[in-house]
Amino acid sequence: MGEPRMTLATRAVLAAFLAGPADEHYGLQIADAAGLPGGTIYPILIRLEQCGWLESRWEDIDPQEEGRPQRRYYRLSERGAQAATTAMAKASDRKRRGFLAARPQGGAA
Amino acid sequence: MIEFLDTAANAGGVLTTIVAVVLAMVQPGRRKRRHRARVRAHVVRVSRYRSVDREVASWRVKAEIEAALAAEEARVKAERRVALALVFVPPGQRERYRQEWVNEMAQLSPQEAGVFALHLLLLAPQMGIMLALKRIFGRA
């Protein structure tokens, strides 16, 4: 399976997951952590799930007992945790190199 | 009253006794009149408050009804948007995403749910294509 495009939003979502790689998060929680509007994270979650970086499951609760509906929880897969760390490092390295390349080189007067 | 007359009589003066008797005869009438006037004033005051209260209560009820209607309208609009977004999702996965999005929206206020649903609707074609490609080719 391919690698997702590392857009700013994708990086923000991955950063939210990498803050606690073993933790499970539901949609609104991920959006909050990533600082993105709630409805905009689903294409990213779908993409990451299709790549095998994320796993999801329905919460096992009785909605009437809890007083709220079931949530769909997402967590990084083992492969996803490694791949996301590498991809994030690569993306930040690319960003740093881009910044350095944009700096004036100076030269002979 | 009898105690008062006894006291007046013991005090001596006939005039004092007469005045006391006259006062004793007159005062109940005065008291009644004053009492009636006081009761009337109180009734008028209370009825004024009641009419103001009634007016305030009716405004409050109206405002509550309007807020509830607006919330219901926003909720219905959000549900419509989700239903429309689900048209783009492949049929096999529609139920999963419907349940997931509706459950997330249940935790939001109607206005927030509307914004959430609008974002879903705007991104639904993109999600639909990703899910369809995965289903057809087994890859995204």
Classify the complex by whether its ipTM is higher than 0.90, answering yes or no: no
Q: pLDDT tens for residues A25-50?
A: 999 999 999 999 999 999 999 999 99
Judged against a pLDDT cut of 60, whether residue B6 lies above it is answered with no
HEC sequence for A16-48: HHHCCCCCCEEHHHHHHHHCCCHHHCHHHHHHH
- Supply the pLDDT for residue B82: 96
Q: How far apart are the two ends of chain A, measured CA to CA in Å?
A: 52
- Considering only CB atoms, B130 lies closest to which of A27, A38, A46, namely A46
Q: Which domain holds residue B22?
A: 2-137
Interchain contact B132–A (C-beta under 8 A): no
Task: Measure the CA–CA gap between B26 and A104, rounded to whole angstroms.
Answer: 110
With both helix axes pointing from N to C terminus, report the angle between A42-50 and A8-18 in degrees, rounded to the nearest 10: 70
Residue found by looking up tokens 């529609």 in the block: B94
Environment class of A5 (CB within 10 Å of its CB; exposed 0-12, middle 13-18, buried 19+): exposed
Interchain contact A42–B (C-beta under 8 A): yes
Give the tokens for residue B78. Answer: 């959000």
Environment class of A18 (CB within 10 Å of its CB; exposed 0-12, middle 13-18, buried 19+): middle
Residues of A in contact with B131 (CB under 8 A): 46
Domain count, chain B: 1
CA B64 to chain centroid, in Å, comes to 6
Instruction: Give this prediction's pTM.
Output: 0.69
- Supply the pLDDT for residue B140: 47
Would you say the C-alpha torsion B113, B116, B118, B123 has a positive or negative sign? Answer: negative
